[in-house]
Amino acid sequence: MSLFTDTLRQSFIQMSTAAKLMLVLLLVLFFLIIGLMFAAVLAVPLFGFDLNALSTILDKPDASSLGIIKFFQIIQTLFLFLVPALLAAWLFSTNAMVYLKADRGASLITLGLIFASLCAAVPLMNFLTVLNMRLDLPEWLSGLEYKIKTMEENAGELTELFLAGNTTTDLAVNFLMIAILPALGEEFLFRGVLQRLFTDWTKNSHTGVILAAFLFSFFHFQFYGFLPRFLLGLYFGYLLVWSSSIWVPVTGHLINNGIAVIYYHFALKPMGETPMDQLGTGNKGNYMLYLSVFFTVMLIGIIYLHEKQDKRNPA
């Protein structure tokens, strides 16, 4: 590595935590723009559209333009989350893998417990989603509420388009786009970089987890799903704290999104219209909700104790 590169990295390493946080946000915005430009440049020869046609397609996506929409989604995930996270980790340390806590593996027992806990949490997450959707803003914020509902409906329609295909290729592309890449990109950025910086800034790991989870939920811009996504962010954040391995929340995120992709692919029904979506909701769902809370909390407690024991007795 050159002397110039070493000196450059040292200057970033010595920056204040607040300055590092600002730099990360600037990197996210910068690579969002670069990603859109990069995708647009590639899309012209790959899909045969001019820039005006691309603008119309992206503004009003439909089933006929699904391929190009998925292409833009994949590029956006890479440039918006993964690239800024990897670059920030490289700038802020002499070893990006250690900085991101990607140098330590995950316990198979922990991963099995995470899978069980996410399955057990389905009725609880359904209940929280319904509760969140009942949000009514004051009359003077009716304009904002209308915009939020419009954004939510557009996001829901886009997700339905993504999950509509029923071929093996559709499943593979959706799994890559909705499960694998977001699990890597979002966890590296929100847990690997931002949670670490928030923890360093506040000198409190709990505050770091909470702030990162808040941003994680906020950045999805689906406000009627803010509460369940925030709690999911808290879960992933504490998984990193307990395990000291980014691969644990990455796998948890992958499991959570992957289950949905596979389930809706074979269910052949829109979200909200399957038996799994109804668990924990309605008057008859109370017992399912109570069981969900009990088993979810119990399994998370077991994960905590297992990881604590693992740290006491490293291999």
The pLDDT assigned to 216 comes to 94
Encoded amino acid at 226, one letter: F
Domain count across the chain: 2
For residues 36 and 64, membership in a common domain is answered with: yes
The pLDDT assigned to 108 comes to 92
- Residue 160 pLDDT more than 90? no
Give the range among 61-65, 209-213, 292-296 with minimum mean pLDDT.
61-65
**Domain of 14, in residue numbers:** 1-95
For residues 249 and 278, membership in a common domain is answered with: yes
Rounded CA-CA distance 199/213 in Å is 12
Q: Is the CB of residue 43 less than 8 Å from the CB of residue 54?
A: yes
- For residue 59, give every residue at least 6 positions away whose Cβ sits within 8 Å of its Cβ, in sequence order, or none: none
Q: Is the CB of residue 118 less than 8 Å from the CB of residue 252?
A: yes
Mean pLDDT of the chain: 85
Q: Is the CB of residue 206 less than 8 Å from the CB of residue 102?
A: no
The pLDDT assigned to 250 comes to 97
Rounded CA-CA distance 46/5 in Å is 36
Q: Nearest CA to 86 among 14, 193, 11?
A: 193
Q: Is the CB of residue 143 less than 8 Å from the CB of residue 311?
A: no
- Residue 314 pLDDT more than 60? no
The pLDDT assigned to 271 comes to 61
Res. 176 pLDDT band, cuts 50 70 90:
very high
Rounded CA-CA distance 192/187 in Å is 6
For residues 90 and 104, membership in a common domain is answered with: no
Rounded CA-CA distance 5/186 in Å is 27
For residues 178 and 229, membership in a common domain is answered with: yes
Cα angle, residue 235 at apex, residues 233 and 237 outer, rounded to 5°: 70
For residues 181 and 277, membership in a common domain is answered with: yes
Q: Is the CB of residue 295 less than 8 Å from the CB of residue 120?
A: yes
- Residue 1 pLDDT more than 60? no
For residues 91 and 104, membership in a common domain is answered with: no
- Residue 201 pLDDT more than 80? yes
Rounded CA-CA distance 299/294 in Å is 9
pLDDT tens profile 275-312 = 676 776 766 557 888 899 999 999 999 999 998 886 66
Residue finishing a domain among 95, 123, 153:
95
Encoded amino acid at 254, one letter: L
For residues 45-71, give the mean pLDDT.
74
Cα angle, residue 248 at apex, residues 253 and 69 outer, rounded to 5°: 25
Residue finishing a domain among 60, 95, 130:
95
For residues 294 and 248, membership in a common domain is answered with: yes
- Residue 40 pLDDT more than 90? no
For residues 250 and 271, membership in a common domain is answered with: yes
For residues 2-14, give the mean pLDDT.
80
The pLDDT assigned to 130 comes to 84
Res. 268 pLDDT band, cuts 50 70 90:
low
For residues 148 and 239, membership in a common domain is answered with: yes
- Residue 257 pLDDT more than 80? yes
Rounded CA-CA distance 127/65 in Å is 34
Residue finishing a domain among 46, 69, 95:
95
Tell me the CA end-to-end span of the chain in Å, nearest whole number: 33
Looking from the CA of 133 toward its CB, the CA atoms found within 13 Å total 10
For residues 169-182, give the mean pLDDT.
92
Give the range among 23-27, 39-43, 119-123 with minimum mean pLDDT.
39-43
- For residue 119, give every residue at least 6 positions away whose Cβ sits within 8 Å of its Cβ, in sequence order, or none: 259
- For residue 224, give every residue at least 6 positions away whose Cβ sits within 8 Å of its Cβ, in sequence order, or none: 129, 132, 133, 135, 148, 149, 152
- Residue 173 pLDDT more than 80? yes
**40 versus 156: which is more confidently predicted?**
40
For residues 12 and 57, membership in a common domain is answered with: yes
The pLDDT assigned to 214 comes to 95
- Residue 104 pLDDT more than 60? yes
Residue 190: DSSP 8-state: I
Give the range among 68-77, 89-98, 232-241 with minimum mean pLDDT.
68-77
- Residue 121 pLDDT more than 90? yes
Q: Nearest CA to 168 among 262, 256, 77?
A: 262
For residues 197 and 305, membership in a common domain is answered with: yes
- Write down the pTM of the prediction: 0.88
Q: Is the CB of residue 129 less than 8 Å from the CB of residue 291?
A: no
Q: Nearest CA to 216 among 235, 244, 203, 239?
A: 235
For residues 17-41, give the mean pLDDT.
93
pLDDT tens profile 85-103 = 999 999 999 899 999 999 9
For residues 43 and 153, membership in a common domain is answered with: no
Phi-psi region of 70 (alpha: psi -120 to 50; beta: other; left: phi over 0): alpha
Residue 96: DSSP 8-state: H
